[in-house]
Structure 1
Amino acid sequence: MPAPLKVMIVAAEAAPLVSMGELGRSVGGLARALKRERIDVRLIIPKYQRLINSHSMKRLVPEMTLITMNRFRETAIYRDELTASEEVPVYLIEKARFFDREHLYGPPENAYDDNADRFGFFNVAALETLRQIGFYPDIIHCHDWHTGLIPAYLKTIPAFSQDPMYAPIKSVFTIHDLRHKGCFPRETFFQTGLPPSIYTPEGVEFYGQFSFLKAGVVFADMLSTVSKQYRYEIETPEFGQGMEGVFQKRTKDFYGVINGVEYKPFDPRIDSFILSNYTKDDLHKKHRCKRDILEFCGMERHIERPLVGMIAPMYEEKGIDLLLKSAHCMMELPIQFIFVNDLPYRNEKFAAQLGEMMAAHRKHVRCFTDYDEALKHKVLAGADMILMPYQSEPCGVTQMYALKYGTIPVVRATGGLDDTITEFSVETGKGTGFKFAAYTTDALCEKLREALVVYENQPLWELLQANAMRANYSWEYTAKKYKDLYLMLLNKGKENH
C-alpha cells in the first residue's frame, strides 16, 4: 500500500483555532477536507494571544534555535488539533514579543510596524519546525503574503536548498486576496537572510518596496487562487494591481480553485437562528422566516413584496458605494431591502451614509451596521434575493450560503461570484441566479428588474429556488482538486529528473 501524500499547510490563520475571516475559514476547511481524502495533512500557524482555549495544546519543543537566522534567537513549538473530532495536527510557533498581542496584524485599518519582522520570523520558524518534528512533507502549501518567503527560502538558502531532506519539498502558494501584498520598505529585505541578488524587479522588489506576496509568486513551484475567474482577472491591468506581469509569466503554473464552504452552520434544515427550518420540498416554511425578519426589523409585513438582502463587509470593494448610488433607483422598484454588516469592523463613513439611505426610505429599508450573526442567518433564510454588487470578489461565500437557503443571488459577474452563479434562463429553466457585468447603477437596477419579472411567475421562481438549493460547493470538491494538483506537481518533478 503506497504511503499517504504528506502536506504541510502554513498560514497566518486557521479556523476554528484563530480566524479573522475568509483566510482562516479557507485554511481550516481545506485542511479538514484533505484529511478526509486520506492525506497526511498538518498545519503550522503562529501562537497568538487570541487563540481559543484548548485543553489539548501541549508544549512540544520547549526551545528551538533558528540555525538559519541568528537574529531571531529561540522560540518554542506547541502542538494542538484543529478540532477535537478530526485529527489534524497543528503546530503553533511561539514568540511572545511577536504574537502575544491583542490583534493578529494590527488594530482595525492599521498594521503593526514590525509585521515584516513578525512574519519573516514565522516563515523561517515554520521551515525549521519540520526538522524539529521530523516531518518532511511532499508539499508545503503556503497561504497569502504572510507565508510568501517560504518558497524563496526553499529555493535560495543553502541550509534548505542543499539539504537532502528539504530539497525535494515542492511548494504551492495560494493568493486569497491580492489587495494584501505584504509590502515593506526596501531595508526590511536585507534583514530576511535572503540573497541580495533576488532584490530585483524580476525577483521580490515591487515598485521600490519588498513584497512577501511577490516572493511567493516568483519562487513557488505552483500557484493557485480561490476562483478561476479571479485567476484570469489578476493577470489583467484592471485587477492585477501592478503585479499582472508577474502572474502572466507564471500562467502555466497558475490555477484557480473555488474555495468550499462548511454547510453545517448554514443549513436551513437545522439552522437554530431561524424561526422555521425547511428544505427544498417544503419551501412554504421559508415564508415564516420572511415574516419573522420583517417583524424583527419593524417593517410592514407585505409577504408578497420581494425582500432583497445584502450581507457584506463595509468596504468599498464590496459595492457599498454602488449600493448607495443605486438607492433611489432601487426604491422605485416594488421591493423591501435589508443591509447587514458582515464583519465586526464598522466603517463610520459608510455607516452614516447607510443611515441616511434608511432615513430617506424608512418605509422599505433597514440598515444594520453592527455585526450580528443571528440577523445574518435570519436574512439568509427570510430574504427572497441576496444582492452582491461587488467591485471585486476573489471567491465569496455568502452567495453559496444563500443558494442553500433558496435565496437567489443577484451578483456582479466578478471573480468567484461569476464562477459560482449561473445566469437563470427562462427558456431552459436552468441557472441559479442573476448576474450583471458593468459596475453601474443602470446595470444593477436592470438586473433587479429582470429578477422581479421571474419572481412574479411563481412556478418559474420555485424552479429557480430548487436549482439553487441543489448547488453544492462543499470542501470535498476543493480538496479533490488540490489533491490532483499536488500529484501533478510531484509527477512533474519526477519527469524533470
Structure 2
Amino acid sequence: MTNNRKIKVLFASAEAAPFAKVGGLGDVAGALPASLLQNFSDEIDIRTIMPFHAVVKAKNAPRKKIGNFSFQANTKQIDCELFISEIDGVPVYLIDNPYINHDSPVYHGDWQLDGMKYASFSLALLEALRYLDWKIDILHANDWHTALAVHALVTTYKSDPFFAGVKAVLSVHNLPYNGWGSQDAMNLLGFTASQDPDLPDWAKFTPLPMGIAASQKVIAVSPGYSREILTPEYGCGMENYLQKHVGKVMGILNGIDEDRWNPTEDESISHCFSVEQLSERVQNKLDLQKALGFEVNENIPLLTIVTRLSEQKGVPSIFEALPQLLDRKWQFALLGSGSPDLEERARKLAEEHPQRIACFVKYDDVISRVLYASGDIFLMPSLYEPCGLSQMFAMRYGNLPVATATGGLIDSIRGYSANPETATGFLYSDKTTAGLIKSLNLALDVFENKETWQAMQKNAMTTDFCWKTSAKKYLDVYQSL
C-alpha cells in the first residue's frame, strides 16, 4: 500500500472503553485507535464502530445523530440508526438496530440473542460505510463479534464495487470464544459457509474461524499467544489450519495507557510515588493494612489479585495454595467477581482468616488501583492468558507478579529465575497448585532481601508498556497490506 496518503481504517469492536468495557477487548478498542491517531495522524485516518448498547446509552456521552439507513439481509429488512461520538479524539460510530436496541448487557450469554446482535452488527457496520460514503482501505475486526464482517467482504460484498480492494485484519483476543451457537442467526440473515477447504467442517459455519479464513492478517494479542494457538493445547481445533497458514498469523503485545495508570498522580491512592521516590510507596500498604484490620507492618508481604473469578484465571489454585502456606508471613487481598462457586470460596477463606485475608467480591476501579499500589506480590496463575493487562498495571505500580509462563505473561514479565538482575517478576511453568506454591515461596524468600526487591520494583516500573510501541507495529501491518 502506498504511503503518499492517509490509510483509512475502520476499527470494529463489540466494546470500547470508556463507553463499554467487559474485558481486555474494551481496553484495547478504547486505547489502540487513540494511540494510532495521536502518534501517526499524518499517516492514518482511523475511526471506531461499535453497537449502541444500553450501557453506552446510560453513560449519555455527547453524541450526534447522523441519520437512518436500512438494508436487506436475506428476507429481513434491518433498519439502523447511526450516531457519532468520540473517544480521545477518535470518531466513534454507534449503530442501533432492533437486535441491539433493548435493555440488555453487552453480552447476553443467550446465543440466539447474541448471535442476532453481532451477526446483524457485522453487516450493519459495512452498510454504515456505504451510508457515510467512506471508502476504507482496512477493516480491523476483533474477535467473533465482528469476524462475520470480514467473511461478508469475501462473500456477500465480493463483487460490490464500493468495497473493492478493502483488506481485512482480524485481532484474536481469546480463541476459545468463537461464536459457536450463532448459527441460527447466521442462517436467518443469509450468511453462507466458508468455502476454505483447509478449515475443519465445524469451523466453516462458525464466526471466528470464518473471519480468520477470510482475513489477510490474523493478529493475536501477544507474540506468545500467537505461537500457542498453533498447538493442540491452545488451538481450539484450529491449530492445523493456523499452522498451514502461519504466514498470516502474528502477535503484537497490547499496551496500557500510561497516563491513566500513573502512580505519580493517581488520585485513587493515598500516597503517590515514583521510581525516584519509591520509599513513599509503602505508605499505601500501611494504610491498606490498617483499613483491612491486618497487622500494620511493612515487613509482612502483601499478596494481591485483581481478576475475574474463573478457572481460566487459575483462581482455584490460589484458594488451594494459601492454606498450605499459613506457616509463612503474608497477607492477601482479592478483588474480583465471576463464578458463584469461586465467589463463595473467596468469602469463606476471608471468614476463616480475617487477620490476614480480605476479599472484595465485586469489581471496583478505585480498589483495583489501591491494590496495585499497595501490594508487594501480584498473583496471576492463569491457565492461559492471551495477553493480560493486570500484570502490566501491577508492574507499573511496583507490585511484582508471580505468574504462569504462558501467552502474554511470558512477553511482558522478565522472570527472576532466568536473570535476577533484569527481573520484573516470577514466572513458573507448572500450572498446578504445587507450581504456584513453589514460585510463591521463592518470591517470599526474595522479598526478605530489600535491596534485590527494590531493584526488581524499579525494573518493573520502568518497563515500557506504552501503546505507542504497539501502535507502530499495527500501522506497519496496515501499510504492508
Indicate the TM-score class for this superposition, using the shorter chain for normalisation. Answer: over 0.9
Contact persistence 1:421–1:433 (CA under 8 A): yes
Counterparts of 1:200 and 1:40 in 2: how far apart (Å)?
32
Number of equivalenced pairs: 475
> Unpaired segments of 5 or more residues in structure 2?
none
Question: Counterpart of 1:377 in 2: which secondary structure?
Answer: helix
What is the aligned counterpart of 1:93 among 84, 92, 95?
Answer: 95
Correspondence for 2:120: 121
What is the aligned counterpart of 1:330 among 312, 316, 325?
Answer: 325
User: Which deviates further from its counterpart, 297-306 or 49-58?
Assistant: 49-58
* Gap change, CA 1:452 and 1:97, over 3 Å in 2: closer
Counterparts of 1:221 and 1:205 in 2: how far apart (Å)?
21
Amino acid at match of 1:338: A
Contact persistence 1:105–1:112 (CA under 8 A): no
Correspondence for 2:191: 194
* Gap change, CA 1:186 and 1:146, over 3 Å in 2: closer
Correspondence for 1:494: none
TM-score normalised by structure 1 residue count: 0.90
Amino acid at match of 1:116: G
Contact persistence 1:276–1:288 (CA under 8 A): yes
In the alignment, is residue 74 of structure 1 matched against residue 73 of structure 2? no
Q: 1:137, CA displacement in angstroms?
A: 1.3
Counting aligned pairs with the same residue, the percent is 30
What is the aligned counterpart of 2:63 among 57, 68, 73?
Answer: 57
Correspondence for 2:478: 486
Amino acid at match of 2:15: E
Counterparts of 1:194 and 1:111 in 2: how far apart (Å)?
20
Counterparts of 1:375 and 1:403 in 2: how far apart (Å)?
16
Counterparts of 1:97 and 1:116 in 2: how far apart (Å)?
9
Contact persistence 1:204–1:215 (CA under 8 A): no
> Unpaired segments of 5 or more residues in structure 1?
490-497
Correspondence for 1:163: 160
Counterparts of 1:244 and 1:409 in 2: how far apart (Å)?
30
1:204-283 equivalence runs, <5 A: 205-206=201-202, 210-283=205-278
Correspondence for 2:10: 8
Residues 47-84 of structure 1: CA distance to partner in whole angstroms, max 9, x if unpaired?
1222154564122122x12156451332221122224x
In the alignment, is residue 320 of structure 1 matched against residue 336 of structure 2? no
Q: 1:346, CA displacement in angstroms?
A: 3.8
Amino acid at match of 1:149: L
Contact persistence 1:327–1:357 (CA under 8 A): no
Residues 65-114 of structure 1: CA distance to partner in whole angstroms, max 9, x if unpaired?
2156451332221122224xx2x1112212134332221221xxx32523
Amino acid at match of 2:121: F
What is the aligned counterpart of 1:418 among 410, 419, 424?
Answer: 410
* Gap change, CA 1:457 and 1:214, over 3 Å in 2: same
Counterparts of 1:421 and 1:257 in 2: how far apart (Å)?
15
Counterparts of 1:353 and 1:293 in 2: how far apart (Å)?
22
Contact persistence 1:60–1:77 (CA under 8 A): yes
Amino acid at match of 1:23: L
Counterparts of 1:294 and 1:89 in 2: how far apart (Å)?
44
Q: 1:5, CA displacement in angstroms?
A: 1.3
1:128-207 equivalence runs, <5 A: 128-157=127-156, 160-184=157-181, 186-195=183-192, 198=194, 202-203=198-199, 205-206=201-202
Correspondence for 1:495: none
Question: Counterpart of 1:291 in 2: which secondary structure?
Answer: helix
Q: 1:24, CA displacement in angstroms?
A: 1.3
Q: 1:199, CA displacement in angstroms?
A: 6.5
Amino acid at match of 2:148: L
Correspondence for 2:340: 348
Correspondence for 1:293: 288
In the alignment, is residue 41 of structure 1 matched against residue 46 of structure 2? yes
Q: 1:210, CA displacement in angstroms?
A: 3.3
Amino acid at match of 1:128: E
1:354-433 equivalence runs, <5 A: 354-424=346-416, 429-433=421-425
